[in-house]
Amino acid sequence: MIRYYLNTKSIANGMAVLLTWAFFTSSVMAEGMTPTGDYARFNKEGELIRPTGYREWIFVGAPLTPNDMNNGKAAFPEFHNVYIDPVSWEHWKKTGEFRSGTLIVKELASVGSKQAPSGNGYFQGEFIGLEAMVKSQKHFPDAPGHWGFFRFTVENSPELHKTAAAQPVENCLACHQANAAQYQVFTQFYPVLRAAAGKGEAGSGKR
């Protein structure tokens, strides 16, 4: 009887350990992170699964190409909030290079207002789209810099696609390759990235 009790107890303990492990694994996965440190996850068809949790990553900048400075029709309307995943940020700080596995997200936000108590300007409204670029030698062996580009935006809708296939080179990479300052990324517009590159810290106010 006692022995039976002990066995059940140790089985219960074993189950508790297993459940705790499963809970931690699934909560980590829910943030879009795999145990290898790569935030980019692909499905069997090689499509990128829409990243989540990126608003808690490292915010590198917010370029703005408003319609009213682009003949009423900007190619990528309004604010572009750009984030890099934390593991790749650590690598960037140490080396000034983007590691294989780097995931950079660009979330689009509309211009919500042009007036604030602080003055006239451009202020963020609603989220209206999501794009991403992933550096992966495995998935994009032939692409310059091994970058793949993805678009999750659904036209005229606040919804986003759950997965996205890699864009043809001419749609995205070609322009980044021709115009971006470093490694196909527009670091010329991100002082946060420039200040930290290879410095081992995020910068201390120095230029």
- Please, are residues 89 and 202 in contact by the beta-carbon 8 Å criterion? no
Half-sphere exposure of 82 (CA within 13 A, CB side): 18
For ligand HEC, which is the closer residue by CB, 3 or 148?
A: 148
CB of 16 to ligand HEC, least distance (A): 42
Q: Which residues of 38-57 are buried (b: 16+ CB within 10 A; e: fewer)?
A: bbbbbeeeebbebbeebeeb
Q: Which part of the chain contacts ligand HEC (CB under 6 A), choosing from 4-12, 37-45, 109-117, 174-182?
A: 174-182
Is 65 one of the binding residues for ligand HEC (CB under 6 A)?
yes
**CA atoms of 79 and 81, how far apart (whole Å):** 6
Range 67-96, binding ligand HEC (CB under 6 A): 76, 80, 82
Given a contact cutoff of 8 angstroms between Cβ atoms, the answer to whether 56 and 82 are in contact is: no
Q: Does 177 bind ligand HEC (CB under 6 A)?
A: no
Rule CB under 6 A: say whether 146 interacts with ligand HEC. Answer: no
- Binding-site member from 70, 171, 181, 202 for ligand HEC (CB under 6 A): 171
Handedness of CA 59, 38, 200, 133 (dihedral sign): negative
Among 41, 48, 151, 152, which residue interacts with ligand HEC (rule: CB under 6 A)?
A: 151
Select from 85-93, 107-115, 154-162, 165-173 the region that touches ligand HEC (CB under 6 A).
165-173
Q: Annotate 171-200 with three-state secondary structure.
A: HCHHHHHHHCCECCECHHHCHHHHHHCCCC
| Binding to ligand HEC in span 2-61, by CB under 6 A | none
Residue 89 or 149: the one with the smaller Cβ distance to ligand HEC is: 149
Only segment of 28-36, 49-57, 111-119, 129-137 that touches ligand HEC (CB under 6 A): 129-137
Number of residues that bind ligand HEC (CB under 6 A): 22
Cα–Cα dist 55/75, whole Å: 23
User: What is the distance between the alpha carbons of residues 67 and 53, in angstroms, rounded to a whole number?
Assistant: 28
**Which positions touch ligand HEC (CB under 6 A)?**
63, 65, 76, 80, 82, 104, 106, 131-133, 149-151, 167, 171-172, 175-176, 180, 185-186, 189
